[in-house]
């Protein structure tokens, strides 16, 4: 098992890539502490992991509140007996409108996409230090590697995540705490349609999504498990000499 005896925290764990991560991490031997804002879906994830013979805990938490973030980490460490891995997956699509920017929503997007992961990581590092090291994973996006005209706010946030990951990797390398960033491209999850204009007709929305798929060299959308498998590798000792990287999981989207 690639994560045997590892203690892992995953945020935004109740659906899509986060849920796939919980299931594959547990299958590979990790104890998983799953955090999400959706109680029902979170309960389903924990039940799914346990049904498959894994071990999981669930916590409903609004990670926009830094105090809640820190408390969640302390609860995770207490229930699992420590922390070896944290996958900071929580995030939201950014605003489309620039000319009439909603500053409240702008702050919410920046806070959840950047600050939440930073606060969670800062709280988790002392627990990793006690265990002799660990693996921190952030979810950014291909929009953190190349521009994204559909949402400059989202792109700005994800570029920030990439820079934050690289900087933390340098800061904690001597303590054997590795920090890496996974950058999904277009992935078939419940969140994907939120990246397109909600006021567009079904025909226009379908055309926009078709254009996105057409820009992927492998010719298809990615699947949640494919991103989870990338995070699994970064969490495992197989990537023990890997820190400070951005790993696109994008079907070649950023290879141009």
pLDDT tens per residue across span 27-41: 999 999 999 999 999
pLDDT at position 210? 82
Query: Can you read off the two tokens belonging to residue 196?
Result: 């397109």
**If pLDDT is split at 50, 70 and 90, which confidence band does 221 have?**
very high
Give catalytic residues, as residue numbers: 154
pLDDT at position 118? 98
**If pLDDT is split at 50, 70 and 90, which confidence band does 95 have?**
confident
Q: What is the pTM of this model?
A: 0.94
What are the C-alpha distances in Å from 179 to residues 135, 155, 162, 163, 176? Answer: 6, 20, 10, 11, 10
Q: Is 183 helix (H, G, I), strand (E, B) or coil?
A: strand
Sign of torsion, CA 245 59 70 2?
A: negative
Q: Compute the distance between CA of residue 201 and CA of residue 122 in angstroms, rounded to an integer.
A: 43
Question: How far is C-alpha 230 from the geometric centre of its chain's CA atoms?
Answer: 11
pLDDT at position 189? 76
Query: Does residue 94 or residue 50 have the better pLDDT?
Result: 50
Mean pLDDT of all residues in 71-76: 98
Nearest to 123 by CA among 161, 88, 89, 157: 88
* pLDDT at position 11 over 70: yes
Q: Compute the distance between CA of residue 154 and CA of residue 106 in angstroms, rounded to an integer.
A: 9
Q: What mean pLDDT is reported for the chain?
A: 94
Q: What is the pLDDT of residues 210-220, one digit of tens each?
A: 888 888 999 99
Domains of the chain: 7-186+223-249 (3.40.50.720)
* pLDDT at position 19 over 80: yes
**If pLDDT is split at 50, 70 and 90, which confidence band does 93 have?**
confident
* pLDDT at position 192 over 80: no
Q: Compute the distance between CA of residue 154 and CA of residue 31 in angstroms, rounded to an integer.
A: 32
pLDDT at position 96? 84
Nearest to 142 by CA among 202, 192, 198: 192
Mean pLDDT of all residues in 109-133: 98
* pLDDT at position 226 over 80: yes
Mean pLDDT of all residues in 90-117: 93
**If pLDDT is split at 50, 70 and 90, which confidence band does 140 have?**
very high
């Amino acid at each position: 098992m690639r994560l045997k005896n590892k203690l892992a925290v995953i945020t935004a764990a109740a659906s899509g890539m986060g849920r796939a991560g919980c299931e594959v991490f547990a299958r590979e031997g990790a104890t998983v502490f799953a955090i999400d804002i959706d109680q029902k879906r979170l309960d389903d994830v924990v039940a799914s992991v346990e049904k498959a013979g894994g071990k999981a805990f669930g916590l409903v938490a609004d990670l926009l509140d830094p105090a809640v973030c820190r408390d969640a980490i302390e609860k995770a460490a207490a229930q699992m007996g420590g922390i070896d891995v944290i996958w900071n997956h929580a995030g939201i699509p950014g605003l489309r409108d620039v000319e009439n920017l909603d500053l409240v929503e702008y702050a919410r997007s920046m806070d959840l996409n950047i600050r939440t992961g930073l606060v969670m990581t800062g709280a988790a590092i002392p627990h990793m230090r006690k265990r002799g090291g660990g693996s921190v994973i952030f979810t950014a996006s291909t929009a953190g590697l190349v521009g994204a005209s559909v949402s400059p706010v989202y792109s700005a946030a994800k570029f920030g995540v990439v820079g934050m990951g690289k900087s933390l990797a340098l800061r904690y390398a001597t303590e054997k705490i590795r920090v890496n960033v996974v950058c999904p491209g277009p992935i078939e999850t419940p969140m994907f349609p939120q990246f397109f204009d909600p006021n567009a007709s079904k025909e226009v929305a379908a055309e926009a999504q078709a254009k996105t798929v057409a820009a992927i060299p492998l010719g298809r959308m990615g699947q949640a498990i494919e991103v989870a498998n990338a995070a699994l590798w970064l969490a495992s000792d197989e990537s023990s000499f890997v820190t400070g990287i951005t790993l696109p999981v994008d079907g070649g989207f950023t290879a141009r």
